[in-house]
Amino acid sequence: MLAIPENLRHELLENGRLAKIDQHIDPLPVLKLFCPWDRRTWLVSEMSPDDNDILFGLADLDDGEPEVGMIELSELAAEVGIGGLRIEVDRFFRPNRTLNEYASDAAIAGRFVA
């Protein structure tokens, strides 16, 4: 399984709880995941409190069309790349915009913009 640090997991779940109450929240992303063998990136803002396998965020699959939506944690955790590489947590990521602001910038640029 993809190891999400406990403090980040707590923030993701709290954002997920808030989103159940108010679907119009626009939190800062909590977690950045990346694929070390290609250019795919995910910015995650929420985890479903009902199903911890369901994340919500911005996915940049390096196809020029980044999009906001649901992400399955188990699907990411199951990916294995060259030499056994796995999807990783970017421990140095510090958000400076809301998820929707990142998504707007990504839509214009055709890719995730840090």
Instruction: Count the residues in the chain.
Output: 114
pLDDT interval class at 2 (50, 70, 90)? confident
Q: Which residues have a Cβ under 8 Å from the Cβ of 81 and sit 6 or more positions away?
A: 35, 36, 37, 38
Residue 23, pLDDT score: 84
Residue 1, pLDDT score: 64
Tokens, residue 11:
């923030």
CB count in 10 Å sphere of residue 29: 25
Its sign, for the CA torsion 89, 90, 96, 101, is negative
Query: pLDDT, tens digit, for every residue of 56-112?
Result: 999 999 999 999 999 999 999 999 999 999 999 999 999 999 999 999 999 999 999
Strand ordering across the sheet containing 54-60: 67-72, 54-60, 41-47, 31-34, 88-89
What's the rounded mean pLDDT across residues 1-24?
Answer: 92
Query: pLDDT, tens digit, for every residue of 26-68?
Result: 999 999 999 999 999 999 999 999 999 999 999 999 999 999 9
